[in-house]
Structure formats: C-alpha cells, structure tokens
A and B are shown apart, each in its own frame.
Chain A
Amino acid sequence: AQSVAQPEDQVNVAEGNPLTVKCTYSVSGNPYLFWYVQYPNRGLQFLLKYITGDNLVKGSYGFEAEFNKSQTSFHLKKPSALVSDSALYFCAVRDNWNYGGSQGNLIFGKGTKLSVKP
C-alpha cells in the first residue's frame, strides 16, 4: 500500500535561516509526490509536485523539494524562511490505481507544523 511518513511533528526555524521539512514515501511503481500547505482555518494549498524529470522541483513561494529515489525521500526546502511561512505542511503521494489503489487520490502524511520565529 502507498504511504508517506513525516517524521517531525514540528520544525522550528529562525527567520532568514534555511528550512527543511522531511518526508519519506513507500509506493508500488513510480511515485507521484506532492507538498501542500495549510494555514489556520483554511483548506490545503498546492505548493509543488514531482512526477518525472529533475530531482529538484521548484514550487510556489520560494519552496523547492528534492526527490531522492534511493532514500525514498521528498524533503521540502526553502533557502530563507519567513515568519509568514509558519503553517502546517503536508506531504502526499498519489494512490496508484495500477496497483489496486483508489482512482488516483491522494494519501497524506500526518503533517509537520512549521514555526518561524523573528
């Protein structure tokens, strides 16, 4: 079965410092990976995705993610954190309908709370 793991419940970073939010995955077949962000009392906003191609994926708001097949990881990164980046971040993998999954829906991790202090 497809799954993702976010090993950190919370990440604390000082403003201006680089940030990393970790995600590892377990899939059958090729992984289709996503990062979403959730602000308080809001729905999920799409940040970036990896389908094929370059292992470094660039997304919205200066975020990027590095796909590492050997380590089955898809960590979210940003060179310089902003206080406004403080939110809940979710890693997700597309369920693989070729392997008995549902029709391509998303399987989410538990989420990582990012706190950026001034």
Chain B
Amino acid sequence: DAGVTQSPTHLIKTRGQQVTLRCSPISGHKSVSWYQQVLGQGPQFIFQYYEKEERGRGNFPDRFSARQFPNYSSELNVNALLLGDSALYLCASSLLPRQGPNSSYEQYFGPGTRLTVT
C-alpha cells in the first residue's frame, strides 16, 4: 500500500515568491495535517484539514494557507516567502481528525518537501 506522498521533493524559491506544496494521504485516511520542520528543531503544527474544512491551525501567519480536495489530498500555499520559511514541510494523514479521548490518533508522515528560500 502506498504511504503518504508529497510533491515536489525539493524546491528553491526566492524571497517574495509564492509556493504550493502537495500531499496525498494514505488511502482511506480523511484527515491531513501539515507541519513545518526547521533545521535542528522538531516539527511544528501548521494546519489540519478534514472533509475539506480547517479543523486546526497553529501559530503561523496568514501567509500560510491550505485546502483539502474531495479526494482528501491537500495543498499548502505560502505567499510572500521569507528566508525563514526555509524548512522541511511534512504532511501527515490519519483516519479522522480525532477519534475520541481514548483513541491513539496515530499520524503517518510523508517524506516531506524541502523548501529553500534564497
């Protein structure tokens, strides 16, 4: 079975440009979350989407936006890129956004998109 897939693998952009990153969840998974991992740090939560609706947002500026499509794939968009946006962007999928207080809520991560802003 295919895992979470992300495209592109690598991307180089210049300051001020806009970028779109793509994610396809595991088949049957309906929830997608996006994380930013800056070099030397742990991943930080950006967004969660389920059934095409935003279900959670981390502490990121409005330059960051996302959407989810009927097939549960997702796009992360970042406008007006800054040097500090250089990072590995990870997508994770799960069956549901939350499965009740006693559920495990396992997330499965894709390989990431390495974004470099120059």
Interface residues of A (CB under 8 A from B): 30, 32, 34, 36, 41-46, 49, 51-52, 90, 92, 94-95, 97-98, 102-111
Between A and B, 7 residue pairs with Cβ closer than 8 Å are A43-B111, A49-B106, A102-B48, A106-B92, A108-B43, A110-B42, A111-B41
- CB pair A108–B109 under 8 Å, yes or no, is no
Measured CB to CB, the closest approach of chain A to B109, in angstroms, equals: 4
- Bound Cα distance from A32 to B102, whole angstroms: 9
Identity of the chain A residue whose Cβ is nearest the Cβ of B49 in the assembled complex: A103
Partner of A43, one of B4, B44, B45, B56: B4
- CB pair A32–B42 under 8 Å, yes or no, is no
Identity of the chain B residue whose Cβ is nearest the Cβ of A42 in the assembled complex: B111
Contacts of A44 in B (CB 8 A): 43, 90, 92, 109
Interface residues of B (CB under 8 A from A): 4, 33, 35, 40-45, 48, 50, 55-58, 90, 92, 97-98, 101-112, 114
Partner of B101, one of A34, A98, A102, A107: A98
| Given contact pairs A97-B98, A103-B98, A32 touches B56 in the complex (Cβ within 8 A) | no
